[in-house]
Amino acid sequence: MDTLLNLSTPAVLLSSAFGLTALGGAFTVCARLRQERERFRIDNAFFQSTFQASAVGMTVANREGHYLRVNRAMCDFVGYSETELLQRSYQDITCLEDFPDRERVRSQLLDGSLPRLQREVRYIRKDGRSVWALVVASRVLDQDGDVAYWVSQVLDIDSRKHAELALIESRRQLRELSKHQESLLENERKRIAREIHDELGQRLTALKMEISLLRLGFGHNPALFRIADEMRTLADGTMDAVRQIASNLRPAVLDLGLVPAIEWLAEQLYKRASIQVHLDLGTEDIPMDDNHVTVAFRAIQESLTNIARHARAQEVRIRLRGSRAGLDLQIQDDGIGFDPARLDSQQGFGIMGMRERVTALGGTLALHSQPGSGTRITIAIPLQEPT
């Protein structure tokens, strides 16, 4: 603007000095026009060189999506020559699967409801290969405020996207594997628990009966009677231990459903650590398969084990709500709490394993805790497995 003023000033002075106002005015307009033209030429040259030299693909398309301008990087990216690309529209080279979404967003961009479009999309190259790009597009309006054309920047993210997709796929496979291992482990626990209970249990019961007979037979011999008595006590203790081992592996009460299993866990915590557990388990009987029952049970079991080991809590509250849609669980203690941000795998795998099992069923686990304020774990599990 300053330049414009400076250049026009001599003409204005000249015109007023000689009283040739009209002539002076014409000079000023001409000088301005020349300036405007020059500025337009520079802007245009700047745009041209930036457009062509850009390492990022750039396109200018009309309202309908036909390319009006494309740069070298865009041609290289999709494998077409400039002439070939200018005979096409963006619809011709967009991957079919991405097309409905792109059309929807494009119409939002054109009608102004979306100021700027930013999307990861796939183009189909001339050789038929699809390539990922990050497209940032905006519209350019004419003097009447109508869309004249839209300009896109197309960033090649193909390698990054493939690496990202490979990572997602490998995480999915790992999760599937861990789910599979988890269910193998659970079935194995079930089998061993049953065998210990049935096989050892039966044999120990038989042994106990035999010892009782021996004890009766040794009534006349106090020394042998006392030994038989001790043997019976030993057999009783062994039976308790066997029951406990089988229960630790997989409590039989789990076969009765989640609610009785939680009640059993609460009793166990009270017996072992004198921590009172308040249960709010709802009234509805939630229909769910064995896998969901086991995941919820193992999560509560790990939370209660953590409370007994780390929390120094007085009280625990367990809240369970469920419907056909899903399961909501909350386990809260009034213990010393901890900083979840400082959790790492060095410390243990309990919480990590819990989260993995819940995530594998499409659920979420949130951990709220801070030193001095207890710990709350919230778990939501959908009862429909993700596809």
For ligand ATP, the binding residues (CB under 6 A) are: 306-307, 309-311, 333, 335-338, 343, 347-352, 375
In angstroms, the Cα distances linking 229 to 78, 205, 299 are: 89, 15, 42
Decide whether 204 or 360 has the Cβ nearer to ligand ATP.
360
Instruction: Check residue 353 for interaction with Mg ion (CB under 5 A).
Output: no
| Sequence-separated (6 or more) residues with CB below 8 Å from residue 384 | 325, 362
Nearer to ligand ATP, 83 or 345 (CB): 345
90-107 burial code (b ≥16 CB/10 A, e <16): beebbeeebeeebeebbe
- What is the CB neighbour count within 10 angstroms for residue 308? 19
Give the residues across from 280 on adjacent strands: 319
Residue 296 backbone zone (phi > 0: left; psi -120 to 50: alpha; other: beta): alpha
Binding residues among 283-322 for Mg ion as defined by CB under 5 A: 306
Q: How far apart are CA 338 and CA 334, in angstroms?
A: 12
β partners of residue 66: 89
Query: Residue 347: which of Mg ion, ligand ATP, none does it interact with, CB under 5 to 8 A by kind?
Result: ligand ATP
Question: Does 282 engage in binding with Mg ion (CB under 5 A)?
Answer: no
Q: Which of Mg ion, ligand ATP, none does residue 268 bind to, with CB < 5 to 8 Å depending on kind?
A: none
Q: Which of 201, 260, 350, 382 binds Mg ion (CB under 5 A)?
A: 350
Strands (E), 185-236: none
201 binds Mg ion (CB under 5 A): no
Of residues 258 and 331, the one with the C-beta less far from ligand ATP: 331
When CB distances to ligand ATP are compared, the closest residue is 348
Q: Which listed option, Mg ion, ligand ATP, none, makes contact with residue 336 (CB within 5 to 8 Å by class)?
A: ligand ATP
Residue 311 identity: A
**Shortest Cβ distance from residue 104 to ligand ATP (Å)?**
44
Query: Per CB under 5 A, which of residues 96..115 are in contact with Mg ion?
Result: none
**By C-beta, is 260 or 348 nearer to Mg ion?**
348
Instruction: Provide the binding-site residues for Mg ion, judged by CB under 5 A.
Output: 306, 348, 350
